[in-house]
Amino acid sequence: MTYCVGIKLDAGLVFLSDSRTNAGLDQISTFRKMIVYEKPGDRFMCLLSAGNLSISQSVREILQVEQLKDPDTDESITIWNAKSMFDAARVLGAAVRHVYERDGESLQRAGVEFNVSMIFGGQIQGEGMRLFQVYSAGNFIEATSETPFFQVGESKYGKPVLDRVITPETPLDEAAKCVLVSMDSTLKSNLSVGLPLDLVVYEANQLQTDKITCIDNDNPYFRMLHNTWGQKLREVFDSIEHPTWDGAHTDVPLLCNGARSQPLKKISNAREKLI
């Protein structure tokens, strides 16, 4: 399994992925799930992948050579000459379909589902930043100001902190911290996600980035974040009042005198009573 997250902000883009694959309890391996395509001054793109490893690796290889025909000019479109991120995402979708047409039937006969999902984002000179989530059919959706981030893989454990913190106005460094907290929560709750992590931070309109790092167990910032987040969560939890059953010692008693303040209760005696 895996966990990948991509965020589109006013200030730039943030991408984070783990590197664990799990094909059974005794087949746990490390494979990188992030790749950056960069032509400084012209385009920056980042691809994150989750799902069947053989499918995602095939898509990544084919993406380098996949072409689409421009119906207006009859020219071939690749990720390296696409004039928009939308066209680059179309090329990625075509690469996914290419792999499905080649391997889908064989995988089905072997009882293997064609399962791949991807996050693809970046910026091409002449347009703004864009972020897409690509599905197994090669179709995709685009991030908006209301939904500024995408997750693929084991997303449920890391989603709450993203929902509470991330808005389009979030600064890049704060967003980077937030995705690392999101990943730490996932690592804590799911053994199928694991270190090392790949993190990329892209500043808007730079068309290249040097903020790329691989985070392992020895990374001092991630160790600090892991310990501090756990400690602060415990402190906040301890600061919240325990539930009480009357208003004698608190202004917020758990038991209220509302019409639906109690569940149905069956009493075992000569007759049943519902209260």
* Structure tokens that stand for 242 in this block: 């325990």
State the virtual CA torsion across 198, 183, 224, 163 in degrees, nearest 10: 120
| Type of residue at 37 | Y
Report how many domains make up the chain. Answer: 1
| Type of residue at 165 | V
pLDDT over 60 at 181, yes or no = yes
Q: What is the Cα–Cα distance from 241 to 254, expressed in whole angstroms?
A: 11
Instruction: Give the model's confidence band at 261: pLDDT under 50 very low, under 70 low, under 90 confident, else very high.
Output: low
**Is residue 183 one of the residues assigned to a domain?**
yes
Could you tell me if 121 and 114 are in contact, meaning their C-beta atoms sit under 8 angstroms apart?
A: no
| pLDDT at residue 270, as a whole number | 54
The number of angstroms, rounded, from the C-alpha of 214 to the middle of its chain's C-alpha atoms is 17
Ranking 22-36, 66-80, 257-271 by mean pLDDT, the lowest is: 257-271
Which SS3 state, helix, strand or coil, does residue 220 take? helix
pLDDT over 80 at 195, yes or no = yes
**Is residue 131 one of the residues assigned to a domain?**
yes
What's 223's domain CATH number?
3.60.20.10
pLDDT over 90 at 130, yes or no = yes
Instruction: Give the model's confidence band at 191: pLDDT under 50 very low, under 70 low, under 90 confident, else very high.
Output: confident
Sequence-ordered alpha helix ranges (H) in 166-244: 172-189, 220-239
**Is residue 166 one of the residues assigned to a domain?**
yes
| pLDDT at residue 247, as a whole number | 65
Give the closest residue to 197 by CA, choosing from 19, 15, 37: 19
pLDDT over 70 at 170, yes or no = yes
**Is residue 263 one of the residues assigned to a domain?**
no
**Is residue 238 one of the residues assigned to a domain?**
no
Q: What is the Cα–Cα distance from 252 to 241, expressed in whole angstroms?
A: 9
Could you tell me if 131 and 13 are in contact, meaning their C-beta atoms sit under 8 angstroms apart?
A: yes
* Structure tokens that stand for 207 in this block: 């068309």
* Structure tokens that stand for 190 in this block: 């799911």
Backbone phi, psi, residue 99, to 5°: -65, -40
Average pLDDT over residues 54-81: 92
pLDDT in tens, 6-29: 999 999 999 999 998 764 555 567
Average pLDDT over residues 182-191: 94
* Structure tokens that stand for 202 in this block: 């892209």
Ranking 65-79, 124-138, 222-236, 246-260 by mean pLDDT, the lowest is: 246-260
Give the closest residue to 35 by CA, choosing from 59, 9, 2: 59
Instruction: Give the model's confidence band at 30: pLDDT under 50 very low, under 70 low, under 90 confident, else very high.
Output: confident
**Is residue 228 one of the residues assigned to a domain?**
yes
Ranking 110-119, 156-165, 239-248, 259-268 by mean pLDDT, the lowest is: 259-268
Domain encompassing residue 180: 3-233
**Is residue 252 one of the residues assigned to a domain?**
no
* Percent of the chain with pLDDT strictly greater than 70: 90
* Percent of the chain with pLDDT strictly greater than 90: 77
| Type of residue at 254 | L
Q: What is the Cα–Cα distance from 73 to 82, expressed in whole angstroms?
A: 13
**Is residue 269 one of the residues assigned to a domain?**
no
| pLDDT at residue 56, as a whole number | 95
